[in-house]
Amino acid sequence: MKFGLFSEFELGRGTYDQVTQLYDDYIRQACFAEEQGFESIWVLEHHFTDLYSYCSAPEIMLATLAARTSRVRLGCGVCLLPYHNPVTVAERYATLDHLCHGRLEFGIGRGVPTFEWNKFRSEPFEQGRDIMYEALEVVLKCWTGEDFVHNGRFFKIDQPINVIPKPMQKPHPRIHAAVTSPDSAAVYGARGWETMSIARVNPLSDVAQQAAGFRAARAKAGSRGEFSVLVDIHCAPTDREADERFSLYHKWFFTEMGRTYYPMPEAGAPAEMPSGNSIVRYLLGQVGFEEFKRAGMVISGSPQTCIRELRRFQAAGADRIMCQFKLGLMPHSETMASMELFAREVMPAFADRG
């Protein structure tokens, strides 16, 4: 099983003077990850999320990491295609593939309903998958074709264009798609893409179903594919020490993310989200950190506990764990301590022994 490094780039509202330090810390974490044998580094894309997540230009962060690293794969997790001109996306990420000497992994997603979507698109979010499909079609034409036009439903290119540069990887970098609904893994797998699930919003039982659907779809196409899972992880000498620390950062993260994406109803009003939604139930005090742990939506504990829980993900079908060590306002020093212990005592248990 492979291990990648992921970050949400969290800060609180109005802390603009701390962004430089936030980015500097992540660059240090990413370089340390490469030194310790992590296989990949992933950078997300969010917009207007001033309550918790400060990374709106992943290709710029990845270009910086391309200059600071030499072996680790560099992934966007993910590029929100419907929000952008696909020709510009193709140009920037093809350039990035050259800057990192062919180490790019190209992750794509539809975007977030309502909060971000309505600020970029006038179409209903239900059309998001179709827009993403067509945007990617344009990107791939840019990467592999010359002097082409495109007359689509959402994007039109009337005059022939030849986008340069083409990516270093041929025919193009691998495509990874974020799994956000029960059917997404199979749908995307059938298209020949790799997939990325998110454990913090999907119990491990759901992740296993996604992996099974993905495998079945890829098998029909004659390939196995790669199924990744984003997991919030904290490794400490003991379970108690890990939980006491991580539960506080976990609650901060979900509170601030919840305020952004899942606004709580006023007293006496019905909840906007269904009661089965784990995030809303968490914010309403109906479930706690332990429930997230039991459901496999977070890993927190000693190295032995982390190994045991990661075995569950491996059995569920995960090929790569995209580890988010810094959660919420966790200081850089604590993040590094968790990463160091994880790399030293957990990762060797999953090393390929041939």
Residue 55 in tokens: 């990374």
Question: Longest C-alpha distance within the chain, in Å?
Answer: 63
Span 207-266, pLDDT tens digits: 999 999 999 999 998 899 999 999 999 999 999 999 999 999 999 999 999 888 876 655
| 3-state SS assignment for residue 197 | strand
283 φ, ψ (degrees, to nearest 5): -70, -25
* Angstrom distance (rounded) from CA 69 to CA 18: 24
pLDDT of residue 85: 98
Per the prediction, the chain carries an average pLDDT of 93
Q: Give the chain's domain count.
A: 1
Span 286-302, pLDDT tens digits: 889 999 999 999 999 99
* Domain harbouring 315, CATH code: 3.20.20.30
* Cα torsion 123, 126, 130, 135: sign: positive
> 244: domain range?
2-350
Span 171-200, pLDDT tens digits: 999 999 999 777 899 999 999 999 999 999
Closest CA to 56 of 65, 64, 46, 48: 46
Burial (Cβ within 10 Å: 0-12, 13-18, ≥19) of residue 266? exposed
- Calculate what percentage of the chain has a pLDDT beyond 90: 88
